[in-house]
Chain A
Amino acid sequence: MTAMDAAGIDALGEVYRDQRTFRLLIEALARPGTLQSLSDPMPDVPPGVDPYIASVAVTLLDHEVRFATSGPTAAPLTAYIARRTGARPAPPEEAGFLFACGHDADSPLERLPVGSLEFPEHGATVVLTVERLFAQGGDGASTMAVEGPGIPTVARVHARGLAPAIIEAFIDMNREYPEGIDAFLVDPDGRLVGLPRTARIGWNRG
């Protein structure tokens, strides 16, 4: 192996990283409720920015996308995403992506675009940080029973740090299918759950 070849493989690191992350994201959305594990936390994040949230942003966003942030880490996250991906910050009403905090009941989900009957794909994607996702019911976790495409019968999502108001807002935004929004839940260890707008959610508070 020559030095040039080695450098070539090295430069491909980011290409492979984005590919791995994308496959986990599409797997999560195609099989709602299954627990995926993001494999590539971003190494270069500033304080206050979650490295797994950063990897999702870097994989999906670029200069063609507008995004909004909310919650306690909104300022550093906005700066990081804008610098790293070239995507432009925008108010939630004009955002393709919202990065928000699951326990922040004021997250502006209800302000996001839901698309139109002709172009439902213009509905936004929300990436929510939660305290912890569990394979089985966990301490203080809310449990959602989810049905719909991608699920053989019923899937259960156990999340801690997901405010009831957020779950209600998500359900509310998706009443008029095919208009609606799609969600990814991400915890600090990189666990990932996808919830498309087709997910029918029943839930009880933890």
Chain B
Amino acid sequence: MRAADLLVARRSGYNFAFLDEHSKREVRRALLKAVAIPGHQVPFAPRELPIALGWGTGGLQITLSLIGPRDVLKVIDQGSDDSVNAVNLRRLITRTTGVRTTTDTRRATIIQTRHRVPEESLRADQVLVFQVPYPEPLRRVEPSDVQTRRMHAEQDYSRLWVYLYEDIVRWGDVTIPHRYPVRVHGRYVMDPSPIPRWDVPKLHRSPTLGLFGAGREKRVYAIPPHTRVEPLEFDDHPFRVEDFGGERCRRCGSGRSFLSAIYDRATGRRYYVCSDTDYCERRIAGGAAQRAAAP
């Protein structure tokens, strides 16, 4: 961090990390309680931001309350550092903080994400901040907030189990593609945000602290490191991640990452690429380096 970078942020006319200190304190108090009660949704009062509600304001307020001048920031949207949502959020954060940014998952200290967990294994010295559109996993079966709060209090998750059961009866399998409900520390059922099922096992006993923010719905919650995170499943219908039927990434050849389907407009054919662009780029660069080193 150079003083000059800080000055750029200072000249923006806003406080460091945009939010006023009082707002940060409220988010920070909520985050501490969220960490102490894994998977429980803690209410907070979101602030006005120059980003529309529904565009990641919950995650953003967590990041702004966490970030310091020494942090290295990575922001991704569906695994990509370059999509509109990620670019805009990153720009707001860097303009008001002057922090360094990276696309390299390994070098980031704070990773704010929309709908993916990076393929790269995360570490204890990193924090993963999730943008959450719908924090309430029971919303599928119950519209009332008063009722869902009571259901969490009483661990009354029977209607969610019935929902999963009926899904299996009707379709032969649980059809939830993302936002797959998980149980945290054997107590709260939690919405892991719209990550694919592929990413759910990565949350289990992860060394990394996971913080979740829903701005529109005014909730934060957390998964501390090394915490049990179990997808809801039946003994005879175990949870499964996506199956790509042996397809590989057309760019880097990976058969072990979450793939996005792309349609070739000219031929109408479908092909696959890695959703995590940093992972994909690094594999391509690594492959090129290997070929260059070969005799």
Beta-carbon contact of B33 and A182 below 8 Å: yes
Beta-carbon contact of A198 and B38 below 8 Å: yes
Chain A hits for B28, CB < 8 A: 22, 26, 59-60
Beta-carbon contact of B68 and A5 below 8 Å: no
Pick the contact of B187: A29, A116, A118, A177 (CB < 8 A). Answer: A177
Interfacial residues of chain B within 4-52, with CB under 8 A of chain A in the complex? 6-7, 10-11, 15-17, 21-22, 24-26, 28-38, 40, 42-43
In the complex, B243 has a CB within 8 A of chain A = no
Interfacial residues of chain A within 136-156, with CB under 8 A of chain B in the complex? 148-152
Beta-carbon contact of B224 and A150 below 8 Å: yes
Beta-carbon contact of B3 and A1 below 8 Å: yes
In the complex, A131 has a CB within 8 A of chain B = no
Identify the stretch in A10-18, A47-55, A72-80, A163-171 within 8 Å (CB) of chain B at 4 or more residues: A10-18
Chain B hits for A121, CB < 8 A: 30, 33-34, 37, 40, 42-43
- Alpha-carbon distance between A152 and B226 when the two chains are bound, in angstroms: 5
Whole-angstrom distance from the CB of B126 to the nearest CB of chain A? Answer: 12
- A-side interface size class: 35 or more
Chain A hits for B149, CB < 8 A: 118
- Alpha-carbon distance between A133 and B32 when the two chains are bound, in angstroms: 22
Interfacial residues of chain A within 7-39, with CB under 8 A of chain B in the complex? 8-9, 12, 14-16, 18-20, 22-23, 25-26, 29-31
In the complex, B255 has a CB within 8 A of chain A = no
- Alpha-carbon distance between A31 and B124 when the two chains are bound, in angstroms: 10
- Alpha-carbon distance between A12 and B9 when the two chains are bound, in angstroms: 11
Pick the contact of B29: A8, A60, A152 (CB < 8 A). Answer: A60
Beta-carbon contact of B16 and A16 below 8 Å: yes
In the complex, A117 has a CB within 8 A of chain B = yes
Q: Taking CB as reference atom, which chain A residue is nearest B33?
A: A121
- Alpha-carbon distance between A85 and B92 when the two chains are bound, in angstroms: 29
Number of interface residues of B (CB under 8 A): 49
- Alpha-carbon distance between A151 and B226 when the two chains are bound, in angstroms: 6
Beta-carbon contact of B68 and A19 below 8 Å: yes
In the complex, A196 has a CB within 8 A of chain B = yes
- Alpha-carbon distance between A20 and B66 when the two chains are bound, in angstroms: 9
Pick the contact of A22: B40, B42, B65, B150 (CB < 8 A). Answer: B65
- Alpha-carbon distance between A10 and B43 when the two chains are bound, in angstroms: 34
- Alpha-carbon distance between A87 and B146 when the two chains are bound, in angstroms: 30
Tell me whether A12 and B16 are in contact in the complex, defined as CB-CB below 8 angstroms, given that A22-B65, A26-B32, A198-B37 are known contacts: yes
Whole-angstrom distance from the CB of A196 to the nearest CB of chain B? Answer: 4
Q: Taking CB as reference atom, which chain A residue is nearest B69?
A: A16
Chain A hits for B3, CB < 8 A: 1, 9
- Alpha-carbon distance between A19 and B97 when the two chains are bound, in angstroms: 12
Pick the contact of B224: A30, A118, A178 (CB < 8 A). Answer: A30
Beta-carbon contact of A23 and B36 below 8 Å: no
Chain A hits for B84, CB < 8 A: none
Chain B hits for A64, CB < 8 A: 26
Chain B hits for A125, CB < 8 A: 32
In the complex, A71 has a CB within 8 A of chain B = no
Which residue among B16, B29, B34 has the maximum number of chain A CB atoms within 10 Å of its CB?
A: B29
In the complex, A89 has a CB within 8 A of chain B = no
Chain A hits for B205, CB < 8 A: 152
Chain A hits for B152, CB < 8 A: 118
Beta-carbon contact of B36 and A15 below 8 Å: no
- Alpha-carbon distance between A142 and B224 when the two chains are bound, in angstroms: 26
In the complex, A197 has a CB within 8 A of chain B = yes
Pick the contact of B153: A19, A22, A118, A150 (CB < 8 A). Answer: A118
Seen from chain B, the residues whose Cβ lies within 8 Å of a Cβ on chain A are: 3, 6-7, 10-11, 15-17, 21-22, 24-26, 28-38, 40, 42-43, 65-69, 124, 149-150, 152-154, 185, 187-188, 205, 209, 222, 224-228
CB-based closest 7 A-B pairs: A117-B153, A196-B36, A121-B33, A149-B227, A150-B224, A149-B224, A19-B68
A-B pairs with beta carbons under 8 Å apart, 25 shown: A15-B17, A16-B68, A19-B16, A19-B24, A22-B65, A22-B66, A25-B32, A26-B35, A29-B32, A29-B224, A30-B35, A60-B25, A61-B25, A116-B153, A120-B40, A121-B30, A121-B42, A150-B35, A150-B224, A152-B205, A177-B187, A178-B37, A196-B36, A197-B36, A198-B36
